[in-house]
């Protein structure tokens, strides 16, 4: 199984150890996120999350690093579903690194990891309808909107819709970017 995937701008790689995981997750979770705000609950659970990931066969966490300077720019979580041969990639970019294409490329690399290593037929992703960057990023890498749940997510003082996206294996296989990805 390949575990490190590199594109033109970023690479995703497994975290080296618990301290690195905790440091990176906390730095991401406490940065002022335009969409969710500061995520103190995630920052507080890093040690137990590392233990869960270490023994899991269906959940994975990757550091997203810039290729030009090795700087940490986000997290990529991947999970294998027990429903309909599916999985999900979830990308989080620290605010200082946003709007540079790092999240989109990390999502493409995670798609390679999931489709190449697991017998799945589709990927699912969701975000809130008010998180326009996330919706645009998902569509830019090939996901298609497939539904919505009305007023299902509490964000900054109010309820908003959750939007769901899907990408089929056959759609991923037709994409040409995956041939340029470096695997190790």
Whether residue 57 has pLDDT greater than 60:
yes
Express each pLDDT in 108-144 by its tens digit. 999 999 999 999 999 999 998 998 989 999 999 999 9
- Give the three-class secondary structure for 16: coil
C-alpha angle 107-31-91 in degrees, rounded to nearest 5:
10
Q: Are strands 158-168 and 122-128 parallel, antiparallel or unpaired?
A: antiparallel
pLDDT at residue 41 greater than cutoff 70:
no
Supply 160's token pair: 């908003």
Distance, in Å, from the CA atom of 22 to the CA atom of 152, rounded to the nearest integer, reads: 29
Does 145 have pLDDT greater than 90?
yes
Whole-model pTM?
Answer: 0.90
More confident residue, 65 or 131: 65
List of domains in the chain: 5-183 (3.40.630.30)
Residue of 174 and 84 predicted with greater confidence: 174
Report the chain's mean pLDDT, rounded to a whole number: 89
Cα separation, 9 vs 82, in Å, equals 32
- Of 84 and 56, which is predicted with more confidence? 56
Measured distance CA(37)–CA(46) in Å, rounded? 18
Tokens of 91: 């990308």
Confidence band for 35, pLDDT divided at 50, 70 and 90: low
Q: How many CB atoms lie within 10 A of CB 148?
A: 13
């Amino acid at each position: 199984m390949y575990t490190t995937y590199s594109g033109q701008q970023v690479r995703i790689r497994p975290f080296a150890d618990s301290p690195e995981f905790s440091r990176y997750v906390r730095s991401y979770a406490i940065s002022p996120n335009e969409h969710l705000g500061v995520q103190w609950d995630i920052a507080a659970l890093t040690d137990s999350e590392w233990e869960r990931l270490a023994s899991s066969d269906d959940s994975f966490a990757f550091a997203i690093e810039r290729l030009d300077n090795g700087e940490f720019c986000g997290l990529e979580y991947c999970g294998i579903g027990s429903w309909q041969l599916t999985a999900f990639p979830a990308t989080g970019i620290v605010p200082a690194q946003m709007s540079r294409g790092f999240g989109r490329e990390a999502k493409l690399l995670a798609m390679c990891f999931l489709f190449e290593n697991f017998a799945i037929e589709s990927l699912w992703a969701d975000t809130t309808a008010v998180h326009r960057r996330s919706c645009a990023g998902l569509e830019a890498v090939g996901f298609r909107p497939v539904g919505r749940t009305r007023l299902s997510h509490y964000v900054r003082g109010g309820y908003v819709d959750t939007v769901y996206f899907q990408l089929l294996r056959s759609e991923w296989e037709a994409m040409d970017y995956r041939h340029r990805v470096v695997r190790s």
